[in-house]
Every structure is written in structure tokens, then in C-alpha cells.
Structure 1
Amino acid sequence: MSLKKASLIIILVLLIDQITKFYIKTNFALGEEIKVFEWFSILFVENEGMAWGARIPGEYGKLILTSFRLVAIVGIGYWLWDSVRKNGSKILITAIALIFAGAFGNIIDSVFYGVIFEHSYGQVAELVPAAEGYGTLMHGKVVDMLYFPLWSGYLPEWIPFWGGNYFTFFEPVFNIADSAITVGVFLLILFNKRAFPAEDEQGEERNKKVQATS
């Protein structure tokens, strides 16, 4: 796959991701929910940290996290460029492009949203408010909205630790960028041999040489 086609994937994912986030941010108050089906809702939440809401504690935790994301995206971008240069498999380049797009989409939130949006607590946020935004550069919150509570109920008492507790599957709220990263990672896992055919062939050659000398 060419770098041009990989770039088209990245642009498409970024457009869908940012359009949905802008729509949610400018039409929903924080915590507002629209139930589409029993198992799917549009629920506006903001994530200050990493996946699953994890945070780096301390005054500079958010700045450290955003800085790490910026460094990581450079590494992923180089991986994509290098894979295209080496004529990597279509699966590999597609997966890296999805991971890059997803990571970049969430970086946009973290870097800029605190400046260009006002807060969403009890109100619909204004884009480019007359007053200051809810945060500063590098201190934005990631907008999430896709919620799939596929099953909710009380777990049987015989289940260790969680038995008898109310449980929801799947509880995390995520966005298009998160979905792109997840799909990219799963492509690499499920189609590992197709994603890295040259490495597999080299491994097979090494195994044959070892067997021949044993």
C-alpha cells in the first residue's frame, strides 16, 4: 500500500472523529445521554487521562501525558513511513494508519480543546468562546460518546469477589479514535503472519538451519 492511500485512511478517520466530537461538544451538556437502542447510547463524557479513565497524578500529570502522546505519535508516524518504504504488507500499513489516526485524533483533543471550547458542566459548550476556554494548551480533555451497555444486572453469588454486585458489560465510553486504535491493534494480532510475512519467513529459515545442524 502506498503512503497516499495510508494518508487517505488517516484523513478519513480524523474527519469522522473530529466531526463527531465537535457535534457532541457543541450539542450536549456533560453527562447528557440519548438512548438509541437498549444496548447502545450516545453518552457525553470527557476523559482527562488515559484509557479507562486512568490518570497520571500530580500538577503536571496531564502535561506529561500529552507530551508522551506527542512523542508516541512521532514514533508511530516513522513506523508507518518506514513500513511503506520497505513495501510492508497491506494489513500492516492499514493497521498502523488506523493506530496513527486514532492516536492523532485524541491528541487534538488533549492539545487544543481546552483552548477552543468552554466547559460543558450543566451547559452546551461554545466553540471559540468570547471568554477563555475551560483549560490551557496541552490540558484539554478527550471527548467520548459511544456507550454499549450490552448487559446489565446482578452477578450470581457464586462468582468470586464480584458475586451479588450490579455489573454492566460493556461499561467504558469511547470515541471513533479509540475504535480506530482498537481495530488497528486487533488487525496486527489476528493477522500477525500476514502483517509481518518477511519476519515469519526469516524465522522459518532460521528454524530450518537449526534443524539441519542438529
Structure 2
Amino acid sequence: MLDAGHQLSAAATRPPQGRGLAFWLSLAAAVIVLDQAAKLYFNARFSFGQRVNVLPVFDFTLVYNRGAAFSFLATEAGWQRWFFTALGIAAAAVITAILARQGRRAQPRFALALALIMGGAVGNVIDRVAYGHVVDFLLFYWKDWYYPAFNLADVAITCGAVLLVLDEMLRMRKPR
């Protein structure tokens, strides 16, 4: 039987345990719920193309995107719907496998980035399956220049991608 001193020193030498797969999947699920709730709100309250000015550079609007980022492939005959659906499902499966393999050893910034990307990807997959297009409602512009409208899933994917790049840059700077 170990005394209290041995138990304390053994606990102090163990590597810290991080969050597990369930936590990161729950975070991805929260992104999906927020994204879908916002899309349901805008679908119910706005008509297609309607805009409501919020700030001199920002409007709420309701538009649909049959393609991917920046309406990439939006004018195609319809195959892109299933291509981007399969791509989103594959991304979610790969991310789940990575997080499961890393378990509680996953670095928090890396795991957060993956959870955000997965939540955003699944949020847009749900739209493609349910509606045949992605619902977008956030529109930024300056004078005659307009950034393509986007949604909360896109925000999560972008934040996740930025975190992945930041994580890699910080990891490269660490001494070995």
C-alpha cells in the first residue's frame, strides 16, 4: 500500500490529462446546433434576397449557395450537392478518427480547431441534404464591394482553419 507522499509524487509525474473525444464531439455538436438554429431563424423570418441593414458595412440577408466557398461550382447541374455532402461527411469521419486516436493527449488548440471545422462541415452538410443548398445570412460590404454571404458554419470552419495554422506555427517555434 502506498502512502500519501508516494501517491502525490506519482500524480505529479503523470502527464496532464486533457479533454476526451466526448468533449470535442460535444463542442462540434454545439456549433451545429447554433448554426442550424440561426439558419432556421433566417429561413422563417426572411424572404429570399431580403436584406436588413445592421451596420454601415453589414447586413443580414437570406441567400442560398448551391456550391462551396465563394459559390464555387454553384452553377453546375447538381452533382456538386452530393460531392460536397460526401466531402463534409468524409472530413467529419477523419476528424473524429484523429480526435479518437489522440484521446486525452490531444493538444487543446489542435483539437478545438478540428472540432470547429467538423461542426461547420456537418452544419453545411445538413443544409445540402435537407434543402439542396447552403443557407447564408451574413453579408459584409464596403461601398460597391461585397464579400460573399456566409453563415455560422462557415465562421466555425474559418476559425478552425486559422487555429490549425496558428497551432502549427507555434509548434514549429518550440525547441525540440
Give the TM-score, by structure 1 length.
Answer: 0.66
Matched with 1:156 is: none
CA contact (8 A) 1:110 1:142 kept: yes
| Equivalent position amino acid for 2:94 in 1 | G
State the secondary structure of the residue aligned to 1:145.
Answer: strand
Instruction: Report the CA distance shift for 1:61/1:180 in structure 2 as closer, same or farther (over 3 A).
Output: closer
Matched residues, percent identical?
31
Task: Report deviation, 1:147.
Answer: 0.9
CA contact (8 A) 1:48 1:62 kept: yes
Matched with 2:163 is: 187
**In the alignment, is residue 175 of structure 1 matched against residue 151 of structure 2?**
yes
Task: Report deviation, 1:58.
Answer: 3.9
Q: 1:109 aligns with which of 111, 114, 127?
A: 127
CA contact (8 A) 2:61 2:137 kept: yes
Matched with 1:159 is: none
CA contact (8 A) 2:91 2:118 kept: no
2-structure distance, mates of 1:70, 1:179 = 18
1-structure distance, mates of 2:109, 2:90 = 24
Q: 1:66 aligns with which of 76, 81, 85?
A: 85
What is the total number of aligned residue pairs between the two structures? 157
State the secondary structure of the residue aligned to 2:30.
Answer: helix
| Equivalent position amino acid for 1:80 in 2 | L
1-structure distance, mates of 2:21, 2:95 = 14
In structure 2, runs of 5+ residues without a counterpart are 1-18
Q: 1:145 aligns with which of 137, 143, 146?
A: 137
Matched with 1:21 is: 39
State the superposition RMSD in angstroms. Answer: 2.1
Spell out, residue by residue over 1:19-38, the C-alpha distance to the aligned partner (whole angstroms, 9 max, x if none): 00011111111101110111
Task: Report deviation, 1:193.
Answer: 4.4
In structure 1, runs of 5+ residues without a counterpart are 115-139, 153-166, 206-214
CA contact (8 A) 2:28 2:116 kept: yes
CA contact (8 A) 2:64 2:134 kept: yes
CA contact (8 A) 2:124 2:134 kept: yes
Instruction: Report the CA distance shift for 1:34/1:89 in structure 2 as closer, same or farther (over 3 A).
Output: same
Q: Which has the higher helix share?
A: 2
Task: Report deviation, 1:141.
Answer: 0.8
Q: 1:80 aligns with which of 99, 104, 114?
A: 99
2-structure distance, mates of 1:60, 1:98 = 26
State the secondary structure of the residue aligned to 1:61.
Answer: helix
Matched with 1:54 is: 72
CA contact (8 A) 1:84 1:93 kept: no
Matched with 1:120 is: none
Spell out, residue by residue over 1:45-76, the C-alpha distance to the aligned partner (whole angstroms, 9 max, x if none): 00001110011734533223322322232122
